[in-house]
Structure 1
């Protein structure tokens, strides 16, 4: 099994050096699992931040040969759980196929005091897609 930790150049870079944005796990039989770090985005409200996060997640996945259709697990952290309908409407525009496994939490705050939402995902990339990806770090 091969594991590559990465923060690809084509996506917004981490806020600090404490984490990688993607962990690519390539089992011996082919394919890969991508574990993305939690992502936040600037924005005036929950919908705008949610759109920004999904755009970043999409860029990170594409850098490793995956798409949002490959997401198998999503964890969402909201600072106000009453925002689920607003977040859900945005999420439905990005995750259009069979829904992934999911957990949603209300938290008192996130590392960035302006952040209303943080999302982390796991994606399963079929064998042959994303092979030859050159990590940035």
Structure 2
């Protein structure tokens, strides 16, 4: 097993120098687990922020050969649990099909004062095809 951390240049960069965007746990067969840091986004509403968050998550996953269909776990922090339906409506647009395991909870505040939602995911990446000999 090999572990690496990354801030892919093709995705939005971290808002602080104190964390990395992605931790990749690579297994011998080429499969991997991707642990993404919590993501926040600009926007006036929870829906706008959620859309920006999932666009960032998609870019981070793409940089590691994954897509939103590879997400197996999602954790969400909302500053107002009353906005859960607004968040969920946008989330379903990005995570179609069988939903991943999930945990959602209310927090008094987030990393940035204007942030109303933060999302963290884990994704499972299938083994990479071996090159033909």
Normalising by structure 1, what TM-score? 0.92
Q: Verify: 1:127 aligned to 2:121, yes or no.
A: no
* Structure 1 Cα separation of the partners of residues 98 and 63 of structure 2: 22
Shift of 1:111: 1.1
Tell me which residue corresponds to 2:60: 60
* Aligned-residue CA RMSD (Å): 1.2
Residues 57-136 of structure 1 aligned to structure 2 (within 5 Å):
57-128=57-128
- Structure 1 segments unaligned to the other structure (5+ residues): 132-137
What is the DSSP-based 3-state SS (H/G/I as helix, E as strand, rest coil) of the residue aligned with 1:113? coil
Normalising by structure 2, what TM-score? 0.95
Tell me which residue corresponds to 1:24: 24
